[in-house]
Amino acid sequence: MPSVRFGLIGYGAWGSHHAQAIALHPRAQLCAIAARTQVTLDRAKADFPTAAGYTDYRQMVKREKLDAVVIVLPTDLHLEAATTVLESGCHLLLEKPMALSAAQCDAINQLAIKHKRLLAIGHEFRLSSLWGKAKQMIDSGAIGEPLYALIELWRKPYRLGADGWRYDISRVGNWILEEPIHFFDLARWYFQSLGDPVSVFAQASAKRRDHPELQDNFSAMLRFNSGAYALISQTLCGWEHHQTVKITGREGSLWASWSGAMDRTLQPTFWLKHQHGDAVENVAIEKITGEVYELRDQVDMMARAVVDGAPVVTTGTDGRWSVLMCEKAQQSVESKTEVRF
């Protein structure tokens, strides 16, 4: 497979992991990095001296001959950066959330169609050997028709992010877009055979009385036409990073767990159990799983999509649905009512 020339926009905590994932792939080249400050760019150049460096991503996509670009920026910058990349003729891997609103997602999707470029959204859980194995088992009929899911996260508070952007609600949009969006995407993906969700009811609370918009505790019920539903729950008032997925169907159930000191832990603890009748078995997971490892799988996905025409795992349509579910969940929190899609 020919080598794919990548550019990277953003070199914060996760941007550096994306860079490492590209550099490790045998069929990818990290050709250029754009960082927002000279200090960050100097760090990127020290880490990857063969990559061209820019403080203006517009100049990067204009001057460099790139096949694909990865955007790892604060959410409020996604629409402008994605527009620049797609109009330059590059394929795009855009970190989640796709944008601040479904309307912005529409604009990005339209540009990708107009310029006939690949657009993938960074919901890397879909590439996980653990969360993906649960999806494979559901689709194979291991639990029968899905009826219920619980997707729950216990973790320590978010980091501030560069310049404190993650605690600025005007830049984040809402905190549901930050991490619960992963779990909305998983629920919709797991229940794909049932059609898209029809409504959501959500509730949230904040630890800080002076910042009620920073919702440390969040729970939502996502409903489907069949009567199936998914419960999504998260707290930022805990410690470490512990995620659980439990799914029941008419003929069995699944229970998956992942734990680490933080979300980018390199040696996590994880397992998957399958119940059918009176039997409960441990399901073998083929390789180590965690967000850092799934970033490497994303690079492989993009390389194969660019060279071989293979499909991307999470499309712009999927990315829009994830943002829409979070938007409606926030509306539900504010109105204290169930909101339909």
DSSP string, 110-174: HHHHHTT--EEEE-GGGG-TTHHHHHHHHHTTTTSSEEEEEEEEEEPPPP--GGGGGG-HHHHS-
pLDDT at 156: 96
Packed helices 316-335 and 180-190: angle between N→C axes, nearest 10 degrees: 120
Do 219 and 335 have their domain in common?
yes
Do 118 and 145 have their domain in common?
no
Do 262 and 182 have their domain in common?
yes
Is 341 in contact with 199 (CB distance < 8 Å)?
yes
Q: What is d(CA 89, CA 105) in angstroms, rounded to the nearest whole number?
A: 18
Structure tokens at 96: 């989640």
How many domains would you assign to the chain?
2
Q: What is d(CA 174, CA 14) in angstroms, rounded to the nearest whole number?
A: 20
User: What's the pLDDT band for 162 if we cut at 50, 70, 90?
Assistant: confident
Span 72-80, mean pLDDT? Answer: 97
pLDDT digits (tens, 9 = 90+) for 223-246: 999 999 999 999 999 999 999 999
Identify any residues that bridge with 32 across adjacent strands, giving them in sequence order. 7, 52
pLDDT at 1: 58
* Burial of residue 238, with CB atoms counted within 10 A of its CB: 0-12 exposed, 13-18 middle, 19 or more buried: middle
Q: What is d(CA 294, CA 185) in angstroms, rounded to the nearest whole number?
A: 16
pLDDT digits (tens, 9 = 90+) for 255-285: 999 999 999 999 999 999 999 999 999 999 9
Structure tokens at 147: 């009826």
Q: What is d(CA 259, CA 119) in angstroms, rounded to the nearest whole number?
A: 31
pLDDT at 269: 98
User: What's the pLDDT band for 159 if we cut at 50, 70, 90?
Assistant: confident
Do 116 and 169 have their domain in common?
no
Q: Going edge to edge, which strands form the sheet with 68-71?
A: 52-54, 28-34, 4-9, 68-71, 91-95, 119-122
User: What's the pLDDT band for 220 if we cut at 50, 70, 90?
Assistant: very high
**In 3-state terms, what secondary structure has residue 31?**
strand
Do 162 and 308 have their domain in common?
no
Average pLDDT of the chain to the nearest whole number = 96
Beta strands in 165-312 (DSSP E): 199-205, 217-223, 229-235, 241-249, 253-260, 269-276, 279-282
Do 134 and 266 have their domain in common?
yes
Do 137 and 171 have their domain in common?
yes
Do 102 and 167 have their domain in common?
no
Residue span of the structural domain in which 228 resides: 127-288+323-340
pLDDT at 263: 92
pLDDT at 188: 98
Do 149 and 82 have their domain in common?
no
- CA dist list (Å): 220 to 63, 187, 289: 46, 11, 26
How many other C-beta atoms can be found within 10 angstroms of the C-beta atom of residue 133? 19
Do 133 and 275 have their domain in common?
yes
* Burial of residue 145, with CB atoms counted within 10 A of its CB: 0-12 exposed, 13-18 middle, 19 or more buried: middle
Q: Considering the chain, what percentage of its residues have pLDDT values greater than 70?
A: 100
Largest CA distance in the chain: 63
Structure tokens at 27: 């069929």
Provide the CATH number for the domain around residue 74.
Answer: 3.40.50.720
Do 26 and 103 have their domain in common?
yes
Do 108 and 145 have their domain in common?
no
Provide the CATH number for the domain around residue 195.
Answer: 3.30.360.10
pLDDT at 168: 93
Is 73 in contact with 10 (CB distance < 8 Å)?
yes
